[in-house]
Amino acid sequence: MKAAAISVSPLSGVLSVGGPARRGWAFAQRLLRNRSALIGLVLLAAVLALATAGRWLFPGDPWEMAGAPMLWPGQEADHPLGTDFMGRDLATGLVSGAGVSLLIGLVSTVLAALVGTAVGALGGYYRGWVDAALMRVTEVFQTVPKFVLAVVLVAIFKPSVGTVVLAIGAVSWPPTARLVRSEFLALREREFVLAARTLGMGDARLILTQILPNALPPVVALASLSVATAIQTEASLAFLGLGDPNVMSWGTIIGGGREQVIDAWYICGLPGAAIVLTVLGFNLLGEGLNDVLNPHLRER
């Protein structure tokens, strides 16, 4: 009879029994027991359902004039959430905006996480002049207000989904770089790294297989919070008219309805509420991930 596989996490010192599937199930159980994470997951599941199933319920073109202008929610059955000042169906626009916001938020966050992880890993592992040079570049990006830099980048290039993703990713990576750098500085002299170096592992293999996996948990928690910031940034850019002109987003709806905010507040209120719930969901999930992945918080 084979003994169960036993592994010790160098970072947390927590003994875990079983394979990756069993450890993954244990992690999922801890996450679901966390109240913040559970509420966040419920909110994000609702947004995801809106972005996917909503396309079957409201399959029309969000730019099409579907009814009379400024119909209030519930005024006509064909337009349950009303119409904007041009007669475009708000339900269809909200469904389109959900997909756009999730796409831009997730892709830009992945881009920022990759860049930040690479910069932080190289600086924290090699230290010396490499670390000094990379941190000076990071400081340059941090001295300029993120939103102002994003506006400049989008304004220079033709506004599109790709441009917005690149702009948000370009201004969002410094916090991840600093976090990963601090983790690498703390981990590079640990016993398991020294043992792997003694066995002849090269720098690339040490970084990718020994240090990076143990530095990722706080990065995952930070990434979930970064998605919320990215969604807010995209909505702000679209509100200013710097979003993709061919894509209907929540910020586009708010920007189009700002002049009717007194007579038809729901035009701005509905997409605004969608943004608040989505951002809240990612923030709660990030707090829950931080509680679950941080061994010191788990011990409280």
What are 90-146's pLDDT values in tens digits?
999 999 999 999 999 999 999 999 999 999 999 999 999 999 999 999 999 999 899
224 burial via Cβ count (<10 Å: 0-12, 13-18, 19+): buried
CA neighbours within 13 Å on the CB side: how many for 64? Answer: 10
Positions of E strands within the chain: 6-8, 15-17
Q: Are 42 and 277 in contact (CB under 8 A)?
A: no
19 found inside a domain: no
Is pLDDT at 87 greater than 70 in this prediction? yes
Q: What's the pLDDT tens digit per position in 209-258?
A: 989 998 988 899 899 999 999 999 999 999 998 988 889 999 999 998 88
Residue 171 in domain: yes
Per the domain annotation, does 107 fall within a domain?
Answer: yes
For residues 255 and 299, give the distance between their C-alpha atoms in angstroms, rounded to a whole number.
Answer: 46
Q: Is residue 110 assigned to a domain? A: yes
Q: Which CATH number covers residue 236?
A: 1.10.3720.10
Residue 48 lies in a domain: no
Q: How many domains does the chain have?
A: 1
Q: Domain range for residue 232?
A: 99-250+277-300
Structure confidence by residue, pLDDT tens digits, 173-222: 999 999 999 999 999 889 988 898 888 888 899 999 989 998 988 899 89
Annotate 114-173 with DSSP letters as a single string.
Answer: HHHHHHHHHHHHH-HHHHHHHHHHHHHHHHS-HHHHHHHHHHHSPP-HHHHHHHHHHHHS
Residue 178 falls inside a structural domain: yes
pTM: 0.85
72 inside domain: no
Report d(CA 24, CA 17) in Å as an integer.
11
283 in Cβ contact with 225 (< 8 Å) = yes
Give a yes or no: residue 162 inside a domain. Answer: yes
